[in-house]
Structure 1
Amino acid sequence: MKKILYLTFYFEPDLCAGSFRNSPLLKELAAQAQGKATIDVITTLPNRYGSFEAQAPEFESRDNYTVTRVAIPKHQSGMKDQILSFKAYYQHVKKLVKGKQYDLVIASSSRLFTAYLGYTIAKRIKAPLYLDIRDIFYDTLQDVLQSGLVKGFALPVIKQIEKRTFAYADHINLISAGFKSYFNSYTTTNFTFYTNGIDDMFLENKANENAVANHPKKILYAGNLGEGQGLDKIVPDAAKKLGDDYEFIIVGDGGIKNRLIEKVQAYNLKNVKFLPPVKRDELLKMYEECDFTFVHLNDYDAFKKVLPSKIFELACFPQPIIAGVGGYANSFISENIENKILFNPCDVDDMVKQLQSYSYQRIRRQNFIDKFKRTSINKEMASSMLKYL
């Protein structure tokens, strides 16, 4: 029987895109590997949001796979916190795999270091390496790091880590086709472009396609409140201009939440409400009851290549999507999604202008749903992984 090591920093029941991607993908992989391989998943105990706690066992054994969850320090998603958290994960994983042999190493990574961890293990045991890359960390740091001194030290180190990791990999899946040009130099590696997808629970939503809008109209954002989302650059000013006809409901937590709250308070806004992270079944009900769904990325060059996972779940609901994104994500939404208000990141005036002139309607986006079901994507992606056994 072959053995597979599967590394992902986030896994169920954590609340984040990494968990939502890897949990069902792993189950599909295990189903396809039945009778051929066993899988060791090494992840972390739920930690995505400091304000949300979910209970999960540190170890569980299922049919042909095990899940080991590593305890890491509590954090608020700041850079220093993330470094300490990953250091703990890295050290624990190294101990857990010491002396073990695997026939395939799979790593799903947004911040590069889980990919690098997979590389160090695969290289040591001379195993094939399959990477699922969900973000380009180097690009993100170029935009996010403010200190020239820190940039001058960190970026060359990150670039070397990146080169070693990607050059060794037998296969790299890129979650966004917008990443393709960045990886052109890795000519000996096989590439696929399996995107995020739509989970079954969102397909079964009970949102009323014929409902009229509330007053005030409710705009729902649910997810991470970090530098990457840049909500502090769009929500307070948009809420101020839109006035009492619209209400923003912000559900989540993250590094800039306090900054966002402070700006809302400074404007003395009554039409922006904040709620802590909620479980997915509660979130589903909130999506069903809102008038608009909302996704936004900061105006950074790095985000011109990405495709936010949230787009896939929002498109399942009949409500119009408000999307402030640039680059590839903007093109993707423009070509694939009906009934949207699409504008460039942080462009408050354009968002407000389009909203105020929008004639409210709800439609079911059946073609999009059929094309991007997570179950179909996972079947193909799992099959592509097993080719390396």
Structure 2
Amino acid sequence: MKILVLSFNFQPDLCAGSFRSTALVKALQVKIASSDSIEVLTTTPNRYHSFSNQAPIFEQKDNLIIRRIPLPAHKNSIFGQIFAFTFYAKSVLKYTKKYDYDLIYASSSRLFTALLGAMIARRKPTLLFLDIRDIFSEAVLEAFQKPVFKFFMKIFLVPILKMIEKFSVNTAQHLNLVSEAFADNFKYFKGNISFFTNGIDEVFLKHHFEHTPQNQPQIITYAGNIGNGQGLEKIIPEAAKALEGKYIFNVIGDGNTQKLLAEKLSLLNVRNVNLFKPVSQEKLLDFYQKSDYLFLHLNDAKAFEKVLPSKIFEYGASNKTILAGVNGFARNFIEKNVANVILFKPCNVENLLEKLENHRFSTVNRSDFIEKFSRKTLMDEMSKIILAMIHSPNIEKNVV
């Protein structure tokens, strides 16, 4: 048995896709024989250009092979990402020509990882399992602020993206969606669908969050990507300005709107926001421990009403109050599953200030949430489905 794993990011890279794919590979590795193999085709760590984490180009341990494709230097702009992914895709297509696989797993927030998996699966032909973490054809519109660009994207590019999306999805035999709200987009899919969400990584499960007294001023911490999807520049500068003297914001991360956030903070002369470059998960735990609130925000756009941010699970492993500006499925998920969360309207400074002022500070035990959404448990169940696909005699493979 030979399984191919396509994941643009893989540990030690710092992002949800990396942590998810790594956990799945570990779950698969213990379930297959020593004579079987898993081959991961990924990239050298590149998620944040401001955080360098070295990793070997080639690794082999027992039945696992990891090949990391070195990418040309780029910053995380849209065009930089396109350039980097094109380089990755060409390398993967060239390499996989020589080999056959029993199943391909493709982890896709970027639509083109799914397309890459579909192209290889049809060429061989091979079983395909797609793990869909975002609806790229919808989210891409929010990457462009100017109306003229949005109009061009909506009229010309989005229909093409939807065609690529449909081709990729219809090549797969199994689709996993991290958000149940994504299901409406794939009503045409005739294969099996599962809903394994993002989960809590082991490093957070092992950490014991102490009950610390409130800081004065209190500390609100955000950690993660700083991009169009988060819209931090639309909420943090004005909120922090209004909360000066009472609260300090720590913002840890990088992304294509980090400069915009810094400019807005400077324009408003905000003095209670600290900007930090990305850090390892272990260092992140120290930031969380010293915080009073953990901050989560999604931009106020229809495209983000279906997503389920991985940060919910990371924050949920702590005993801290979560301050979340989300709508749609994420809001419903939090209300149903996560205790001690202050929910406010995205991009609405007044609503955030009102909710925070009326909140009575507390910490909470989220043991039920932690048990239910351990990433190890979720990926263990997903790996069972993948292996069952390989052993099923009734699944048809798509061909060119």
TM-score (norm 2): 0.94
Shift of residue 76, structure 1, vs aligned partner: 2.3
Secondary structure, counterpart of 2:263 in structure 1: helix
Query: Residues of 2 paired with 1:157 and 1:28: CA distance?
Result: 36
| Per-residue Cα deviation, 1:70-95 (whole angstroms, up to 9, x for no partner) | 01122222111111010000011011
Distance in 1, Cα, partners of 2:377 & 2:289: 24
CA distance in 2 between counterparts of 1:235 and 1:252 reads: 14
Q: How does 1:182-331 map to 2 (within 5 A)?
A: 182-186=185-189, 188-209=190-211, 211-331=212-332
Q: Indicate the residue corresponding to 2:381 in structure 1.
A: 380
In structure 1, the partner of 2:40 is 41
Q: CA deviation at 1:206?
A: 3.0
The question of whether the paired residues in 2 share the 8 Å contact of 1:293 and 1:321 is answered with: yes
**1-structure distance, mates of 2:325, 2:381:** 31
- Note if 1:163 corresponds to 2:166: yes
Task: Tell me whether 91-100 or 217-226 shows the greater mean CA deviation.
Answer: 91-100
Deviations 1:246-291 (A, max 9, x none): 0000011110111101110111111111011111111111111111
Between Structure 1 and Structure 2, how many residues are aligned? 386
Q: Secondary structure at the match of 1:249?
A: strand
CA distance in 2 between partners of 1:292 and 1:52 (Å) = 25
| Residues 22-33 of structure 1 aligned to structure 2 (within 5 Å) | 22-33=21-32
Q: CA deviation at 1:33?
A: 1.7
- Could you tell me how far 1:36 is from its partner in structure 2? 6.4
Q: Which amino acid aligns with 2:240?
A: A
Question: Partner of 1:84 in structure 2?
Answer: 83
Q: Which amino acid aligns with 1:387?
A: A
Which residue of structure 1 aligns with residue 116 of structure 2? 117
Give the C-alpha shift of residue 214 in structure 1. Answer: 0.2
- Equivalent residue number for residue 394 of structure 2: none
Q: What one-letter code is carried by the residue in structure 1 that aligns with 2:185?
A: Y
- Report deviation, 1:35: 4.2
The CA distance in 2 between the partners of 1:241 and 1:315, in whole Å, is 27
The question of whether the paired residues in 2 share the 8 Å contact of 1:143 and 1:301 is answered with no
CA distance in 2, matches of 1:12, 1:144: 26
Provide the alpha-carbon RMSD of the alignment.
1.1
1:14 maps to what in 2? 13
Amino acid at match of 2:322: I
Q: What amino acid sits opposite 2:157 in the alignment? A: A
**Equivalence for 1:75:** 74
Would the aligned equivalents of 1:206 and 1:288 in 2 still touch at CA under 8 Å?
Answer: no
1:174 is matched with: 177
Q: CA deviation at 1:357?
A: 1.5
User: Which aligned pairs between 1:315-354 and structure 2 lie closer than 5 A?
Assistant: 315-354=316-355
CA distance in 2, matches of 1:160, 1:207: 47
Q: Which moved more, 1:368-377 or 1:228-237?
A: 368-377
CA contact 2:58–2:65 (8 Å) conserved in 1: yes
Distance 1:137 1:31 in 2: 33
SS at match of 1:21: helix
Aligned with 2:296: secondary structure? strand
In 2, Cα distance between the equivalents of 1:250 and 1:243? 15
1:345-364 to structure 2, matched below 5 A, reads: 345-364=346-365
Distance 1:34 1:241 in 2: 59
1:106 aligned to 2:105? yes
Cα offset for 1:233?
Answer: 0.4
Aligned equivalent of 1:63? 62
What SS class does the counterpart of residue 387 from structure 1 fall into?
helix
CA distance, structure 1, for counterparts of residue 304 and residue 223 of structure 2: 19
AA in 2 matched with 1:50: H
State how far apart, in whole Å, the 2-side matches of 1:53 and 1:353 are: 39
| CA deviation profile, 1:209-241 (whole Å, cap 9, x unmatched) | 2x2210110000011111110000000011111
Match of 1:369?
Answer: 370
The residue matched to 1:14 in structure 2 has which SS? coil
**In structure 2, distance between residues paired with 1:230 and 1:149:** 22
CA contact (8 A) 2:129 2:175 kept: yes
Deviations 1:143-169 (A, max 9, x none): 333412244332121111111111111
Q: 1:140 maps to what in 2?
A: 139
Give the superposition deviation at 1:99.
2.0
Q: Distance in 2 between matches of 1:228 and 1:31?
A: 36
SS across alignment from 2:50: coil
Contact 1:207 1:289 in 2 (8 A): no
Q: Hey, what does 1:128 align to over in structure 2?
A: 127
Measure the CA separation in 1 of the matches of 2:74 and 2:346: 28
Determine the structure 1 residue equivalent to 2:395. Answer: none
- The residue identity in structure 2 corresponding to 1:235 is I
TM-score by length of 1: 0.97
Deviation per CA, 1:170-206: give whole Å up to 9, x if none: 00000111111111121x1110000111112111223
Inter-partner Cα distance in structure 1 for 2:77 and 2:197: 27
Offset of residue 98 of structure 1: 1.4
For structure 2, the residue ranges without an aligned partner over 5 or more in a row are 391-400
